[in-house]
Amino acid sequence: MPLWNIRTAKNVYTADDKKAFADSITSFYLDVVGLPKFYTSVVFHEFDPENFFLGGEPTDDFVLIEVVHVARNMNELSEKLGATMTEDDLYSLMRESFAGIVRPFVDDRGLRWETAVVEGLFKSWMIDGMTPPPPFSDAEKTWARQNKPSPYDTESA
């Protein structure tokens, strides 16, 4: 699970914009991180401008993005990359990657934006009542091919 909670004023994005934004996020996790496609969730939370304040002032030009990571953490990504990057380098790469995803949906619209990532505990996560397979395991690759969860042998995963 990466879960992207995108908070915006109402009518900032059309349905097509939201789909394109979600597709861009999903492609990143599929192509770059190697997650099963269905792990990625994107939720748009729209608010009336009088219900969101930035610096004590109501705003309608701000996009707040909270990203919850559970399927991978920085240590696992570092191991996958052969531990050739420091943790600071990994976080820098993540910020740059997220900026590349977000900028096409904010810059040309004159929107201000912020992202924050929260890392959750893999061992607390369930999908359809099942504990997801370990990262990069054969069982996870099966889930990715099927694009859905399925029972697997937890002993051999």
Is the pLDDT at 32 greater than 70? The verdict is: yes
- On average, the pLDDT of the chain sits at 91
Please report which confidence band the pLDDT of residue 139 belongs to, taking 50, 70 and 90 as the band edges. very high
Q: What percent of the chain has pLDDT over 70?
A: 92
Residue 140 pLDDT: 94
Residue 125 tokens, joined: 């996560």
Residue 33 pLDDT: 85
- pLDDT tens digits for 33-71? 889 999 999 999 999 989 999 999 999 999 999 999 999
Is the pLDDT at 111 greater than 80? The verdict is: yes
Q: Can you point out the beta strands (E) in 48-126?
A: 53-54, 57-58, 62-69, 112-119
Residue 94 pLDDT: 86
Distances (CA, A) of 109 to 11, 57, 62, 121, 146: 12, 20, 10, 35, 37
Q: How far apart are CA 114 and CA 112, in angstroms?
A: 7
Burial class from Cβ neighbours inside 10 Å (0-12, 13-18, 19+) for residue 118 reads exposed
